Chain A
Amino acid sequence: MTVLDTRHTTVSPSRRGLTPRRGGGGGAAGYLFVAGYTILLLAFGVFPTGYSFYLALTNDQGQFTGLNQFVKVIQDYRFVPAFTNILVYLVMWLVLLVVLTVLVAVVLRSRMRPGLSALFRFLYYIPGALAGVASVLVWLFMLDPDVSPASWLLNSLGFHSFAAVLAPGNLPVIFVLIAFWTGAGGWMVVMYGALNNIPDEVLEAAKMDGAGPWKTAWHIQIPMIRQWIAYMTILAFAAGTQLFVEPQLLQTASLGRVSPTWSPNQLAYVFAFQQGDFNGAAAISVFLLALGLICAGLLVTRSNLFTLDEK
């Protein structure tokens, strides 16, 4: 059966030219291909989400509590600070990410020799290859004036001890630095790829019409990779709301100078594992899910992310 299906799919590319849309001809092979992902998605995505909804709507004895868990966590004294922290962080991180990655991608694509551009893309990407925890450790060293190779910079900014660097007001900046350092390189490569997809004729036409490089970027290139930018924003937003490892490690490394409930995810962790309140923790995670879905929904509808190109 598999053999037959394979044959079927190998034929289809030749037919693509004839039919503008592929019909329902995927057959069992298609299902087979998505099965692995679907099973994992159900087991580790959909089921835990459903379970957390169940937990969020019940108490520790399994009684239905309606929205009381949500009311309870909102009234918790750590809820507002944690969500404020994460929102400040998200705004800074997303603005920086969108502006800088797009800018760098445009420069790499149109203002640089291909060889040099490839080298820079590789360099930007390297930090992304480090696992999250390792990159936090790198920054622990970078930010401690006693051991940092950039201690002169920290000292000139008025930071003479690790404790001073970790002042509560600096934390969002620190987390943005870490996130940008680890995450932005990958996105620059993606954006570069997206810019590559723009047909040369379009750019040439723009040039003929008298558009300079910046005008071309602003009026042609960036609008044409809008969907990619939206896609990046959705994923970065989702990852950003789940900030956990960075503040948690910083909390330990700073011997408790960073609040153990800095981010909502940490708050959920404290609810579950220190107060034994898994239901309250689930309610917080549902809040995070709602936040992510609302943001993704807005971006998807505004940017036509899922609209198929009419070709």
Chain B
Amino acid sequence: MRSPGFLKSGTGRRTARNAAAVLSLCAVTALAGCASATSSPSSTSSGGGTAFKPVKQDNASQITVWTDSTRLPQVQAYQKANPGAKLNVVTYDGSADGSTYLQTKVQLFDRTGKGWPDVVFGSPTDVTWASQPTKPNAIPFAAPLDQNLVPQATLDNFAKGSLAPCQFNGHTYCVRNDIAQVVLWYNKSLMEKWHYQVPTTWEQYQALGLKVAKEHPGYLVGSVGDTNSQESYFWSSQCPAFQLTNPTTLRTNLQDPNCTRMSKLLDSLISAKAVSTQGFFSQGFAKNSGSKVLMANGPSWYGQYLFNTAFKTPAKQITAAAPLTWSGESTAATGNVGGGVWMVSSHSANLKAATDLTTWLTTSTANQSKAPTYPAYVPAAKAWLANPTNSSYFATDVSGVFQQAANEVWTGWSNTKFSDATAWSSVVLPALTSGKSLTATLPAWQSAIADEAKANGYAVTTK
């Protein structure tokens, strides 16, 4: 049953050939001397030298606040304490797990020229793009807070290095809400019951993990399956995976001994089934294995959010130990998993109200002592540790460990314009799930990081 259509196809082909000829002609003419397709460099247009020029101010205008649901009660507390403040509070994902919602929206607001929120909670990654214009002639979204907005004395009181992600070209574009220093969490009750020593070095941690796998199969000393596990392990190991040697050059060298020592250690524990490749926060983990987590190398918020809320481990069982060291290494270093920042929009028509809210949220001891996570502002952190609700859940006092770890966060893991979670989650984790070893996946991870860095305009070095 041949249709007449086949007879006509000759004409169709001729048309196609003509079209192709026209197209290729266009291509030749077009390629001869056209402007470059790459985006124009943005950092030159608005450097640190030029002073920040606010828009026309109206101290009575309403300000829009974007917060994640975790910090929403704090914003509401501010509203309660300051009934006169006119706030429009919007809840969003707060850039958790590598979400780019805020960035997406600001890109659009920059194009339409309106709609920016006045105050936002975000991740340190957000500051890398918010401190620079998103397109030529755009004003960077984040206002430089050190320019007549937040007093220098206040900025000086933030924990050592905690404002580093906020700084760009000599200005401070955000204030840190909380830090998430990595410590070694463990179940004290189980450790005592089984007569295990709490490890102080990675070597002891590995040995104990292998022992647990043999003596108590099913129990876990960690997980690498979350979107941020690389920050708990590879950041703590001082692996140069995301190291900005200057603002436009990224060093990523996963064959560095600091990386391979961690991948080999984890591989041995993964194959012994003492470290899970399923994430702590993945669907079903809490139900299936939540009660079998003996140790977890992770951020300071694991205590409340992982053990208390997700695993529902009873109180007085869990506590934290100081970050693990490598035997023979004198300087202790640890990782950092998140820790939010507050930014004020440079487009805000009420910078006074916006700055006041931001300062109150991050530095008020009354507020921060009740905060869900460890405050970056040192006086507030002291008040936080003194608040019994933050410590009563734990088996021992964690303040010393938290304070020590807060000062040991390794500064060689930079915040880049792209999230460090993407390559880890979409390249490394599927490989681990399919049974490949972490060490064997390092090259793929490195090239994924390098590709992403290049796409975001970084020069990449792997030395």
Contact = CB atoms under 8 A, between A and B. Distances in A.
The answer to whether A and B assemble together is yes
B426 A257 contact: yes
A258 B288 CA distance: 23
Contacts, number: 151
Given A147-B284, A275-B455, A256 B35 contact: no
A77 B454 CA distance: 10
A44 to B, nearest CB: 18
A96 B445 CA distance: 35
Contacts of A251: 426
A304 B3 contact: yes
A183 interface: no
B30 interface: yes
A302 B6 contact: yes
B455 to A, nearest CB: 6
A163 B278 contact: yes
Contacts of B38: 59, 72
A166 B430 contact: yes
Given A66-B30, A273-B107, A256 B39 contact: no
A257 B430 contact: yes
Given A257-B429, A301-B8, A276 B282 contact: no
A167 interface: yes
Given A66-B34, A166-B430, A256-B422, A274 B104 contact: yes
A164 B30 CA distance: 47
Given A64-B35, A161-B284, A260-B422, A276 B135 contact: yes
Interface in A267-311: 272-280, 297-298, 301-304, 307
A256 B282 contact: no
A198 to B, nearest CB: 14
- Majority-rule SS of A interface residues: loop
A77 B35 contact: no
Contact of B37 (A78, A252, A255, A279): A279
B34 A144 contact: no
Contacts of B9: 301-302
Nearest to A219: B1
Interface in B266-295: 277-279, 281-284, 287-288
Contacts of A279: 37, 39
A233 interface: no
A168 B430 contact: yes
A77 B455 contact: yes
B136 interface: yes
Contacts of B288: 146
Interface in B251-272: none
A207 interface: no
A66 B283 contact: no
Interface bracket on A: 35 or more
Contact of A164 (B4, B226, B433): B433
A280 B39 CA distance: 9
Interface string B1-33: 101111011001000100000000011011110
A64 B40 contact: no
Contacts of A260: 422, 426
A139 interface: no
A60 B418 contact: no
A61 B40 contact: yes
A63 B34 CA distance: 8
A145 B278 CA distance: 13
Contact of A63 (B35, B108, B418, B424): B35
Contacts of A76: 455
A144 B434 CA distance: 16
Given A60-B39, A162-B284, A279-B39, 18 more contacts: A59-B35, A63-B34, A63-B35, A67-B27, A68-B36, A76-B455, A77-B451, A145-B284, A163-B225, A256-B97, A256-B422, A256-B424, A273-B100, A275-B39, A275-B455, A301-B12, A303-B5, A304-B8
- 7 smallest A-B Cβ distances: which pairs? A66-B30, A256-B425, A146-B284, A63-B35, A68-B37, A66-B34, A273-B104
Interface of B: 1, 3-6, 8-9, 12, 16, 26-27, 29-32, 34-40, 97-100, 103-104, 107-108, 111, 134-136, 225-227, 277-279, 281-284, 287-288, 418, 421-422, 424-426, 429-430, 433-434, 451, 454-456
29 contacts: A57-B30, A60-B135, A60-B136, A61-B136, A65-B34, A66-B30, A66-B32, A67-B27, A68-B36, A78-B455, A145-B284, A161-B278, A162-B282, A163-B277, A256-B97, A256-B98, A256-B424, A259-B426, A274-B104, A275-B455, A275-B456, A276-B39, A276-B107, A297-B16, A301-B5, A301-B8, A301-B12, A304-B4, A304-B5
Interface of A: 57-61, 63-69, 71-72, 76-78, 144-147, 161-164, 166-168, 219, 223, 226, 251-252, 255-260, 272-280, 297-298, 301-304, 307
